[in-house]
Amino acid sequence: MRDKLVEKLIKGEEKRQREGLELIPSENYVSEDVLKANGSVFTNKYSEGYPGRRYYGGQEFTDQVERLAIERACKLFKCKFANVQPHAGAPANVATYFALMEPGDTIMGMDLSHGGHLTHGHPVTYISKIFRFIRYKMKNIETGEIDYDEMLRVAMAEKPKIIMAGFSAYTRELDYAKFSEIAKKVGALAIADMAHIAGLIAGKAVKNPFDYGFDVILTTTHKTLRGPRGGLILTRDSEEIAKKIDKSVFPGFQGGPIMNTIAAKAICFGEALTPAFKKYAEQIIKNSRSMAKVFLNNKIRLIGGGTDNHCVLADIFGSLGVTGKEGQTVLDEVGITLNMNMIADDPRKPMDPSGIRFGTPAITTRGFREKECKRVAELMILTLKNKDNKKVKDSVHKEIKALAKKFPIPKKFV
């Protein structure tokens, strides 16, 4: 690289990823093929429009690669229509809201403090000024059970146009049949934002909302799906809905698609269609359950009482007197990256909440199994309990580095 300054920063990030353990549940390591496609000459190309209907010439290969990505996405998630152009998860969500609602219409989504995402209607977002958001919550924080009765009651009264199932910090499986039933009763569309668990759905390790009558699925292509950073909108079978979504993504909301990322998405979907990916998805859950078990054995409260997916949410302030921010910082010092997180009905503030959120997609990509995950969880707890003890922290850091060395980041998976 001729720009030595940027090259140095890239090398630094490579080293950080190589030597530390990545436990942020929304992060992963992509294959060399995904990286190559993302850095390919498709970067140079403008392709506003859709395959066969572009506003620029020279689309022989872009049309083919976008069609391939669409075809693979539909096969992977069992649906008829896919829009592979959203630049990321948030634009996919916003474009879908504009496609299927009018300003002032109502969406029902999971409360942010109970696991929902900012794009499901937090007041700091612009969309909350345009659409009306109402919320549902857990009935029981200790088991993660959603309050479906209350959801039905509120939905009957407020008549939302969309009922959104999906989350960024929730550890149990949603009852999609109940969501669908409630949506039908009130005349709403059932939409799932599966950004976090798309890889688990693709690998059939958890349920697919389309099997329970969902109309649309929104997702990112990074996280558990292990592709490039990007968004994806899937429509089960309604051509009318798919057409509205296409129009909303372009020209409604975005300009030209990022073709290099679409090529990388096509590779990611191809990888996710293999038997090896199915095993990977299953192992992610086995690994997060083995970590959750260590926390529970150490009497550390977990929101939802455990996990059915890639993610664990621990109330470390309530259980150990260590704040989320302190936990995040001290674990960073020993080479474990994760994030502080609000817990349901958190008495503390978002910038220093009670919880930490961690997950296993990235370490599972490295080849970790239950045994290594159990050890990582033990080391996390040891560090949290000895956050001011340099000797303990140095020794943990040494062991984490050794584990990272023993399990190098792979370049290919199939």
Ligand X SMILES: Cc1ncc(COP(=O)(O)O)c(C=O)c1O
Closest alpha carbon to 316 in 333, 337, 331, 332: 331
Q: How far is CA 263 from the centre of its chain?
A: 20
Distance CA 396, CA 385 (A): 12
Least distance CB 355 / ligand X (angstroms):
16
Say whether 193 is catalytic: yes
**CB atoms < 10 A from the CB of 186, how many?**
17
Say whether 220 is catalytic: yes
- Is 234 annotated in a binding site? The answer is no
Give kind and range of the element (H or E) at residue 145: strand 145-146
Say whether 371 is catalytic: no
Set 139, 207, 229, 348: catalytic member: 229
In the complex with ligand X, which residue's Cβ is closer, 119 or 365? Answer: 119
- Is 122 annotated in a binding site? The answer is no
Say whether 226 is catalytic: no
Strand partners, 216: 191, 235
In the complex with ligand X, which residue's Cβ is closer, 113 or 168? Answer: 168
Handedness of CA 247, 251, 254, 259 (dihedral sign): positive
In the complex with ligand X, which residue's Cβ is closer, 88 or 130? Answer: 88
Say whether 54 is catalytic: no
Contact 182, 160 (CB under 8 A): no
Least distance CB 364 / ligand X (angstroms):
18
Question: Is 102 strand, coil or helix?
Answer: coil
Residues 6+ apart with CB under 8 A from 378: 294
Distance CA 291, CA 97 (A): 37
In the complex with ligand X, which residue's Cβ is closer, 26 or 287? Answer: 26
Say whether 11 is catalytic: no
- Is 112 annotated in a binding site? The answer is yes
- Is 239 annotated in a binding site? The answer is yes
Distance CA 84, CA 233 (A): 7
Set 46, 105, 147, 348: catalytic member: 46
- Is 117 annotated in a binding site? The answer is yes
Set 45, 54, 223, 393: catalytic member: 223
Binding residues (CB under 6 A) for ligand X: these are: 26, 88-90, 93, 117, 119, 166-168, 193, 195-196, 220
Least distance CB 7 / ligand X (angstroms):
26
Q: Which residues are annotated as a binding site?
A: 112, 116-118, 239
Positions marked catalytic: 46, 48, 193, 220, 223, 229
Q: Which residues are annotated as a binding site for (6S)-5,6,7,8-tetrahydrofolate?
A: 112, 116-118, 239
